């Protein structure tokens, strides 16, 4: 019997499209809640998309209270990951340090720190000297203040994806890799199946977690998901001698330069190149290191001479018009749920997003009200949703 015919009779209660950290978290949370017959389809290998980033920052320092809550809830889940779902993901609570060179930025971050503290985040505005003590690479005369939260840090996205998927499988979910979704079957305004390279799966629920490729899945359902791919790159210095001190995940807010330790004796260097045009290109190419070095000469001069001896990595930011996520259930079709468009902060929100999508699927009240993140907010049909810009992103 051919593979296609074998799978022609296959069905699932919910089909998740995408095996990155968002799809994996959703699969785990659904399976843990006892949803039978969860099927995750990934066209390549797990974590082969944006979630393949070697190290991912995790934090609760945001300007929007909704993002603060998602970050905070997720930080707790990342720390508890060895117990639930049960895997080592290398969490290091080194803190996040935002360098602020303009008084106006310092004032805005001071306001955000107040909001964060009201919500229980242990953040603070530091003097340049205090920031320098935490991160000796920075030039204190080049900034007016810095925002810091010690509970932020980083972890390993690849290990997190595998941890979620292993646990999801243990709880009964099916995970199929190298199996692309090619279309959806509908009966009027009802989804009835998912077409794949290996045949059709009957289902009444599709959950789109396809990252930068989500707009294409939306088109299959007739749902507009405004997600645009944008290449972002990091360079690895490789081992340094002497070994660098442990420093916070440090970002220069005005230039977008950022850097932090890797898992050994090197540093990870990053920068948002304004010349980068949208597109699906994912090859690493180091031309952005020049503007990185120009910014480093001002804020962290020792970094300006560092090379990408350890190689580099390129992935896609999955951008939305207001750089906030799209999370919800489409109104015009039954049932199409989506969790995408994280615009560069999807790893850090993944645990909370998994819980929320589980609850949307079950019709239960989610732990954080994500109605403002409905994709409708860009089309005017959003009810109480509206465009909500997030300031603490680069
Ligand atoms: C350089 C860089 C640095 C970043 N730094 C951070 C950070 O510090 N902290 C942070 O929180 N976030 C960071 N991000 C963002 C973060 O990586 C993403 O937001 C997150 O990985 C998104 O996860 P996802 O599961 O939505 O998407 P992905 O990991 O891209 O997964 C989507 C999956 O869907 C699959 N797929 C697509 N189409 C189909 C189809 N038709 N059928 C089946 N499968 C399909 C893809 O193959 C892919 O595996 C960074 C991103 C980059 C590029």
Say what the pLDDT of residue 379 is.
81
Cα 167 to its chain centre, rounded Å, is 20
Cα 260 versus chain centre, distance: 18
Q: Which of 16, 158, 346 to mutate to test the pocket of ligand 1 (most atoms within 8 A of CB)?
A: 346
pLDDT score for 4: 44
Q: How far apart are CA 129 and CA 298, in angstroms?
A: 16
Question: Containing H/E element for 354?
Answer: helix 346-362
318 CA closest ligand 1 atom index: 19
In the predicted model, what is the mean pLDDT of residues 229-252? Answer: 97
> Within 13 Å, how many C-alpha atoms sit on residue 38's CB side?
31
Residue 267 to residue 270: CA distance in whole angstroms: 10
Ligand 1 pocket (Cβ < 6 Å) reads 17-23, 41-44, 48-51, 53, 56-57, 180-181, 209-213, 232-234, 315-318, 340, 342, 344-348
Running DSSP on this structure, what letter comes out for residue 372?
G
Element (H, E) at 4: helix 3-7
pLDDT, tens digit, 9 for 90 and up, residues 42-71: 999 999 999 999 999 999 999 999 999 999
Of the candidates 355, 352, 328, the one whose C-alpha atom is nearest the C-alpha of residue 340 is 328
Please give the pLDDT value at position 382: 52
Choose which residue among 22, 58, 210, 317 to substitute to test ligand 1 binding: the one with the highest number of ligand atoms within 8 A of its C-beta. Answer: 210
Q: Check whether 1 has a pLDDT greater than 50.
A: no
pLDDT in tens, 95-129: 999 999 999 999 999 999 999 999 999 999 999 99
Contact 212, 342 (CB under 8 A): no
C-alpha to C-alpha distance for 210 and 226, rounded to whole angstroms = 13
Q: For residue 212, report the distance from its CA to the centre of ligand 1, in Å.
A: 7
Q: Which residue has the tokens 């090197």?
A: 266
pLDDT for 8 equals: 53
Cβ(25)–Cβ(350) under 8 Å? yes
pLDDT of residue 55: 96
Say whether 14 sits in a helix, a strand or coil: strand
Residue 351's pLDDT band (boundaries 50, 70, 90)? very high
Ligand 1 centroid from CA 51, angstroms: 4
CB 363 within 8 A of CB 376: no
CA 337 to ligand 1 centroid distance, Å: 17
CA distance 340 to 210: 7
Confidence bin at 391 (pLDDT 50/70/90): confident
HSE-CB of 305 using CA atoms within 13 angstroms: 4
Q: What is the 3-state secondary structure (H, E, C) of 172-232?
A: CCEEECCCCEEEEEEECCEEEEEEECCEEEECCCEEECCHHHHHHHHHHHCCCCCCEEEEE
pLDDT score of 288 more than 50: yes
pLDDT digits (tens, 9 = 90+) for 310-342: 999 999 999 999 999 999 999 999 999 999 999
pLDDT band per the 50, 70, 90 thresholds, residue 307: confident
Instruction: Identify the band that residue 5 occupies on the pLDDT scale cut at 50, 70 and 90.
Output: very low
What pLDDT band is residue 385 in, cutting at 50, 70 and 90?
A: low
Tell me whether residue 39 is exposed, middle or buried, using C-beta atoms within 10 angstroms of its C-beta: 0 to 12, 13 to 18, 19 or more: buried
Residue 134 has pLDDT above 60, yes or no: yes
In ligand 1, the atom with minimum distance to the C-alpha of 349 is 11
Position 159 confidence tier, pLDDT thresholds 50, 70, 90: very high
Q: Which of 291, 287, 310, 309 is nearest to 299 (CA)?
A: 291
| Rounded Cα gap, residues 91 and 55, in angstroms | 10
Tell me, what DSSP letter sits at residue 37? -
Could you identify the residue written with the tokens 């949307």?
A: 360
Could you tell me what percent of the chain has a pLDDT over 70?
96
Atom of ligand 1 nearest to the CA of 44: 47
Q: What average pLDDT does the chain have?
A: 95
**Global pTM?**
0.96
Residue 2 has pLDDT above 50, yes or no: no
What is the mean predicted confidence (pLDDT) over 302-316? Answer: 95
User: What is the pLDDT at residue 38?
Assistant: 98
The whole-number average pLDDT for the span 251-271 is: 96
Q: How much is the average pLDDT of 69-98?
A: 98
pLDDT band at 388 (very low <50, low <70, confident <90, very high): confident
Of 356, 329, 300, 299, nearest in space to 102 by CA: 299
């Amino acid at each position: 019997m051919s593979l296609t015919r074998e799978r022609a009779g296959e069905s699932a209660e919910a089909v998740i499209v995408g095996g990155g950290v968002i799809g994996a978290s959703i699969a785990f949370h659904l399976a843990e809640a006892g949803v039978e017959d969860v099927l995750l389809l990934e066209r390549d290998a797990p974590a082969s998309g944006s979630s393949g980033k070697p190290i991912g920052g995790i934090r609760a320092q945001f300007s929007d209270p909704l993002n603060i809550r998602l970050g905070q809830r997720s930080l707790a889940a990342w720390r508890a990951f060895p117990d639930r779902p049960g895997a080592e993901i290398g969490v290091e609570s080194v803190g996040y340090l935002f360098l602020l060179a303009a008084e106006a930025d310092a004032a805005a971050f001071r306001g955000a720190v107040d909001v964060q503290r009201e919500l229980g985040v242990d953040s603070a505005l530091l003097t340049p000297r205090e920031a320098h003590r935490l991160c000796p690479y920075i030039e204190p005369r080049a900034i007016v203040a810095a925002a810091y939260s010690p509970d932020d840090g980083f972890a390993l996205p690849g290990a997190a994806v595998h941890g979620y998927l292993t646990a999801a499988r243990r709880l009964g979910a099916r995970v199929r890799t190298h199996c692309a979704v090619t279309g959806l079957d509908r009966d009027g305004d009802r989804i009835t199946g998912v077409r794949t390279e290996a045949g059709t799966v009957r289902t009444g629920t599709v959950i789109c977690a396809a990252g930068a490729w989500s707009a294409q899945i939306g088109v299959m359902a007739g749902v507009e998901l405004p997600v645009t791919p944008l290449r972002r790159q990091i360079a690895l210095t490789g081992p340094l001698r002497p070994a660098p001190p442990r420093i916070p995940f440090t970002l220069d807010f005005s230039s977008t330069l950022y850097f932090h330790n890797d898992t050994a004796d090197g540093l990870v260097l990053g920068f948002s190149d304004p010349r980068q045009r949208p597109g699906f290109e994912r090859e690493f190419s180091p031309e952005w290191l020049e503007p990185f070095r120009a910014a480093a000469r001002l804020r962290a001069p020792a970094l300006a001479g560092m090379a990408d001896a350890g190689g580099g990595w390129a992935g896609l930011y999955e951008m939305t018009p207001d750089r906030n996520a799209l999370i919800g259930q489409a109104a015009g079709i039954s049932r199409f749920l989506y969790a995408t468009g994280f615009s560069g902060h999807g790893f850090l929100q993944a645990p909370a997003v998994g819980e929320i999508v589980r609850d949307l699927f079950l019709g239960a009240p989610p732990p954080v009200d994500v109605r403002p993140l409905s994709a409708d907010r860009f089309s005017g049909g959003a009810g109480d949703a509206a465009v909500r810009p997030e300031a603490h992103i680069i």
